[in-house]
Amino acid sequence: MHPCSACTVRTLTVCAALEAEELRRLAEILQTTRFDAGHTVFGEGDPAETLYNVTSGTVKVYKLLPDGRRQITGFLLPGDFFGLSVNDSYAYTAETVTPVSLCRFPRRRMEALLDEFPKMQRRLFSMASNELAAAQDQMLLLGRKTAKEKICSFLLLLSQRASRRGHKTNPVHVPMSRADIADYLGLTTETVSRTFTQLKTSRVISLLEGNKVQIQDMDDLLDLAEGA
Amino acid sequence: MHPCSACTVRTLTVCAALEAEELRRLAEILQTTRFDAGHTVFGEGDPAETLYNVTSGTVKVYKLLPDGRRQITGFLLPGDFFGLSVNDSYAYTAETVTPVSLCRFPRRRMEALLDEFPKMQRRLFSMASNELAAAQDQMLLLGRKTAKEKICSFLLLLSQRASRRGHKTNPVHVPMSRADIADYLGLTTETVSRTFTQLKTSRVISLLEGNKVQIQDMDDLLDLAEGA
DNA sequence: CGTCCGCTTGACGGAGGTCAATTTGGGTGG
DNA sequence: CCACCCAAATTGACCTCCGTCAAGCGGACG
């Protein structure tokens, strides 16, 4: 019995569509770990020796400017992969938002496995393509959307991602702080807060207990997210 | 004799590190085309039946909001690959900036070839990873940099990309319009123009004939690009 | 030589940033 | 169980960077 057999996100990630034999080989090189909230998994510039897969919780990845300005380039949910690097060091920092469970894959051994199982390689490529498409959406958001459109897009994104993981789309769980949301959307915490208030006042959303946001009118939100 | 033997950007793209046999097979499915400046290669939402490789000229890819706001997510230079899609339609529009030569690969046949030659698959994955890292840099730029930092970063990017293609890094050729630069950096043409003037006045750059920008002090520019 | 388009420059305004003061709420110890 | 504490969130007042609108300017091309 290896841990993968109980893995609830296997279908979402690189492990999907592996044969029993392939899965066994993957499980051989894999380690599982847990971290508390607020733990730095690796820092920008650290030697990139490990690949990670989120199995529970939320991770944020971000880049910094010398003066401390921060851009969060993604929130990683169960099933998401991270730790790929172009040269031999990570190009960003990865930090847990909530308590998190991770699978660790030593990079070298993972690369060997990818060469051996083209199906896995292909799956990873497909995941990278998806990420690329998401990155392009995010560029449109950062470069051209207003604060209100950004917040609405963000809520929709969380809702859609929850849906893909088989959770209910509404209300949507928002585990990250206002500061994290701000750094993801290219805003300040104050603007994020004001915009939430504004959306609440105009009855598009309401804020529930436990960091949950109830979407009152999904169609309104979809229009608001694109400025229509 | 197939066209690849004369290709000057082969080492930069997916065709690099292919065996003669693999290259021959790739050449079999490949078509070359030329377009004038300002030609739409494909539009967002079009069925994604072809992959492209730039062999000369510059291509821009962009996404639009319903009201016409535009975000250019990348400028593609010789050796760059584009046309990958997640589902079966393109997620962005591709349009030529200058006269352009392209290699066209029918998607289905390309996928078959990728399955047959894992080395190519791997190379493509590596290129996608690079693009992903570039996308993350661009998110940092769009979300957190000032207009001046954006322009300086942009000039440095062009200079570095020229360098990787074996061209001289300075002066740097800027083939795209102010409007395109603006839509790439999340600014307006007016701000782009003003910022160029400002950099010119403070003797960081000077504008030369033929859309060339002379970088007067590379270290200054590097610092300005990161707000240091 | 006139027209057009892209670029530049100027004047002005507003979306969102900055700084600061409260308020809220989750965690902790008495 | 409650009082306290502190970080996070909210709200307000003010300001700035960049967008908007508008007017030149100059090179390309018919």
- Chain centroid to Cα B199, Å, comes to 24
Give SS3 for A151: helix
- The CATH class of A145-226 is mainly alpha
pLDDT given for residue B22 in this prediction: 86
| Residue percentage of chain B with pLDDT more than 90 | 87
**Minimal Cβ distance to A139: which of B118, B142, B227:** B142
Report pLDDT for B228: 84
Contact A185 B143 (CB under 8 A): yes
CB contact under 8 A, A71 and B140: yes
Q: Which residue of A has its CA nearest to B141?
A: A71
Nucleotide nearest to A191 (CA to C1'): C16
SS3 (DSSP) at B103: strand
> Can you give the pLDDT at residue B3?
73
Least confident of B14-18, B64-68, B134-138, B201-205: B14-18
Q: Could you tell me if B58 and B75 are in contact, meaning their C-beta atoms sit under 8 angstroms apart?
A: yes
Instruction: Please write the tens of the pLDDT for every residue from A108-125.
Output: 999 999 999 999 999 999
Separation between the CA of B142 and the C1’ of D8 (whole angstroms): 26
Q: Give the A:B interface size as CB pairs under 8 Å.
A: 123
Chain A residue numbers touching B139 (CB-CB < 8 A): 63, 71, 73, 135, 138-139, 142
Answer yes or no: is pLDDT of A202 > 70: yes
| Closest residue by Cα to residue A36 from A95, A94, A113 | A95
pLDDT tens digit sequence for B178-198: 999 999 999 999 999 999 999
Q: Is the CB of B193 under 7 A from strand C?
A: yes
B188 CB inside 7 Å of strand D: yes
Q: Which of A53-62, A64-73, A119-128, B12-21 has the lowest mean pLDDT?
A: B12-21
Model confidence at A4, pLDDT cuts 50, 70, 90, reads confident
Q: CA torsion angle for B85, B162, A84, A189 (degrees, to 10)? A: -90
Query: Does the CB of A131 have a partner CB in chain B at under 8 Å?
Result: yes
Which pair of tokens denotes residue A45?
């510039």
Q: Which of A122, A128, A227 sits opposite B132 (nearest CB)?
A: A128
Q: What is the mean pLDDT of residues B103-110?
A: 96
**By the CB < 8 Å criterion, does A118 face chain B?**
yes
| pLDDT, averaged across chain A | 95
In whole angstroms, give the CA distance from residue A25 to residue A152.
43
Residue B41's pLDDT band (cuts 50, 70, 90): very high
Architecture of domain A3-139: Sandwich (2.60)
CA of A187 to C1' of D14 (A): 18
Q: Interhelix angle for A107-116 vs B118-144, to 10°?
A: 130
Please check the confidence at residue B10 and state whether its pLDDT lies above 60.
Answer: yes
Q: Which nucleotides of D are covered by protein (CB under 7 A)?
A: 8-13, 17-22
- The DSSP symbol for B209 reads T
**Domain ranges, ordered by start, for chain A:** 3-139, 145-226
Whether residue B1 has pLDDT greater than 70: no
**Angle of helix A218-226 versus helix A147-164 axis, rounded to 10:** 130
Residues of B in contact with A227 (CB under 8 A): 65-67, 69
Please tell me the least confidently modeled range out of A223-227, B16-20, B191-195: B16-20
> pLDDT, tens digit, for every residue of B144-187?
999 999 999 999 999 999 999 999 999 999 999 999 999 999 99
Q: What is the least distance, in Å, from the CA of A65 to any CA of chain B?
A: 6
